[in-house]
Amino acid sequence: MTSDTTVAPFRRSSRCSDISMTTIKNKALRKANYEDAESSDGTLDEEENETFTRTEFSLPPVDRGYHAIMTLICGFFVEGLSYGLPFAYSVFQTYYHTHEFQDASLTTLALVGTLNSGLTYIGGGLLVPPLGAFLSLKQLMYIGSITMVIGFLGASFATSAWHLVLTQGVILGIGGSFVYNAFMPFVPMWFFKRRGLATGLIFSGAGVFGLTAPIAIEKALATIGFRWTLRILALFTLVFSLGSTIMVRPRYMPDATKTKHRVQLSVKDFRFLISKKFLILGLSVLCQGIGYFLPNLFVQSYALSVGVSDQMATYLVSIMNAMTIVGQLFMGYVSDRIGYYHAMVISSTFASLSTFLLWRFAGSSLAMIMAYVIVYGIFGSGFSTCFTSMVADVSGDPSQFVLVSGMFMILRGLGNVVGNPLGSVLLTTSNIMNGWHDITYFVGSFLMASAIFGSLRGLLTLRTPA
């Protein structure tokens, strides 16, 4: 029984008085090994992994086993529902603008998708940690699942654009934030040496959903209208989000599914905010968030504006999202092999160059547009696979994982919320082609800034090993 009372990294156990001295020593060993398990470049040394595994001999194995596999499967659906479906919002946006809500401005309709994905990130820092002091991770996932269903159902009754902003934007985004950010702490519980690859496999869910959803949604909108399309999405979310919540299991915090705990935070818990690691990586995350989401939101509109057919424009969105599957797996492998911040630099650099060289000069060439969505889809998406290793690098202590992760999520969400509206303004304040050119400069510049800040993290390691 003592092996099941390990201190949870995100909330304290209420049964501390029953823990033996042997168990207390084991806790100290586990925490010490967690702090030392990450090498200076963000990868896990084989000898250190063996030591870590030996000290946790009484726990389920890491990187393998039934529950580790179930974590991957559940994470795949959580990622797909939280981020894959929002990637398909451009199809809704085009439909709303040409059918049901023609009087609404493009900026207002774009705000729906921006709030959906942006609040999913921001809520990870502003909402999930405070509520986590009173609710378990799985309770947060249950609440988030129901909230997402309410968001889809509410949007199906919308009669004006602001109804969509409230339901498909705000409510759906908050629900996705609860589900996604409450789930992610399960990943480092079950994966250590293969953490980057596991993260890539989970994040590929967004690519699979992003590949299939635009095509399916476009056909549904054309046949049954947006109201019943949204209601079907509500049912789909209910089944797979709740199913994932039921199936996922913690590795060393059994009380996470049963008992509420009150977590007391102090000023010292926020000291990481002034560390060089966090400041440099935070700027990289913020810049990447400002630039990354715009192409997915506007590539369909761009293609239509230069004469590409409606069907092919939708396929371009699906192709870009499909390439994220390749990108997540590839960059997850790269992160494990050479360190997460090297993967960050590669991701942002190639995404920036593809925007400057391919999208900027694509014009009406379908081949150039196709080349862009492929290259950008692969490299731009890979940045996300670095998140778990990046958070572990900054936090050091498993008890701070949710807090540090939340801060990074806020920064990326702010980038999303700021970047997409600015892109809309650039497009609407210039003539059509100059507006698209301005967007390419905007996206490419912020992604290159992200790469520069990521490289500074590498220089920091060379000067003062992490």
How do residues 341-392 score in pLDDT, each as one tens digit?
899 999 999 999 999 999 999 988 999 999 999 999 999 988 988 887 888 8
Residue 258 has pLDDT above 60, yes or no: no
Residue 397 has pLDDT above 90, yes or no: no
Give me the pLDDT at residue 396, please: 74
Give me the pLDDT at residue 328, please: 80
Query: Mean of the pLDDT values across residues 189-204?
Result: 78
**Confidence band, pLDDT 50/70/90 cuts, at residue 463:** low
- The conformation of residue 251, written as its DSSP 8-state character, comes to S
**Confidence band, pLDDT 50/70/90 cuts, at residue 45:** low
Query: Mean of the pLDDT values across residues 127-152?
Result: 88
Task: Using DSSP, state whether 260 is helix, strand or coil.
Answer: coil
What number of other Cβ atoms are within 10 A of residue 16's Cβ?
A: 11
Cα separation values, 149 from 182, 235, 348, 375, Å: 17, 7, 34, 34
Q: pLDDT digits over 56-84, tens only?
A: 456 777 777 788 888 899 999 999 999 88
Reduced DSSP (H G I as helix, E B as strand, rest coil) percent helix, strand, coil of the chain, to 5: 80, 0, 20
Give me the pLDDT at residue 33, please: 43
Contacts of 328 by beta carbon, 8 Å cutoff, 6+ apart: 199, 200, 201, 203, 204, 206, 207, 381, 382, 384, 385
Inter-residue contact 226 to 325 (CB < 8 Å) = no
Residue 398 has pLDDT above 80, yes or no: no
**Confidence band, pLDDT 50/70/90 cuts, at residue 255:** very low
CA dist 158 and 37 (Å) reads 51
Give me the pLDDT at residue 357, please: 95
Residue type for position 217? I
Tell me which residue has tokens 């199906």. Answer: 156
Query: Mean of the pLDDT values across residues 145-173?
Result: 95
> Which residue ranges make up each domain of the chain?
66-463
Between helix 366-381 and helix 276-305 the angle, nearest 10°, is 160
Query: Mean of the pLDDT values across residues 182-200?
Result: 80
CA dist 266 and 121 (Å) reads 24
Percent of the chain with pLDDT over 90: 36
Query: Mean of the pLDDT values across residues 427-437?
Result: 75
Residue 257 has pLDDT above 50, yes or no: no
Q: What angle do CA 403, 408, 409 make, to 5 degrees?
A: 90
Inter-residue contact 317 to 213 (CB < 8 Å) = no
Contacts of 464 by beta carbon, 8 Å cutoff, 6+ apart: none
Residue 194 has pLDDT above 80, yes or no: no
Which residue in 249, 199, 252 sits closest to 55, CA to CA? 252
Q: pLDDT digits over 98-129, tens only?
A: 888 888 887 888 889 889 988 988 887 788 77
**Confidence band, pLDDT 50/70/90 cuts, at residue 178:** very high
Q: pLDDT digits over 319-346, tens only?
A: 998 898 888 888 888 888 888 889 999 9
Give me the pLDDT at residue 49, please: 52
Taking the alpha carbons of 306, 309, 315, 319 in that order, is the dihedral positive or negative? negative
Residue type for position 122? I
Give me the pLDDT at residue 156, please: 95
| pLDDT top residue among 462 and 315 | 315
Q: How far apart are the first and last CA of the chain?
A: 36
Give me the pLDDT at residue 264, please: 61
In whole angstroms, how large is the CA radius of gyration of the chain? 22
Give me the pLDDT at residue 37, please: 42
Residue type for position 131? L
Q: Is 305 exposed, middle or buried (0-12, 13-18, 19+ CB in 10 A)?
A: middle
Secondary element (H or E) of residue 264: none
What kind of fold does domain 66-463 have according to CATH? Growth Hormone; Chain: A; (1.20.1250)
Residue type for position 93? Q
Residue 95 has pLDDT above 70, yes or no: yes
Q: Determine which of 16-25, 187-196, 371-380 has the lowest per-residue pLDDT on average.
A: 16-25
Residue type for position 14? S
Give me the pLDDT at residue 431, please: 66
Give me the pLDDT at residue 154, please: 96
Residue 461 has pLDDT above 80, yes or no: no
Q: Note the residue count of the chain.
A: 466
Give me the pLDDT at residue 351, please: 96
Residue type for position 260? K
CA dist 73 and 86 (Å) reads 20
Query: Mean of the pLDDT values across residues 133-162?
Result: 92
CA dist 24 and 460 (Å) reads 35
Residue 435 has pLDDT above 60, yes or no: yes
Query: Mean of the pLDDT values across residues 194-198?
Result: 76
**Confidence band, pLDDT 50/70/90 cuts, at residue 192:** confident
Structure tokens at 89: 């919002």
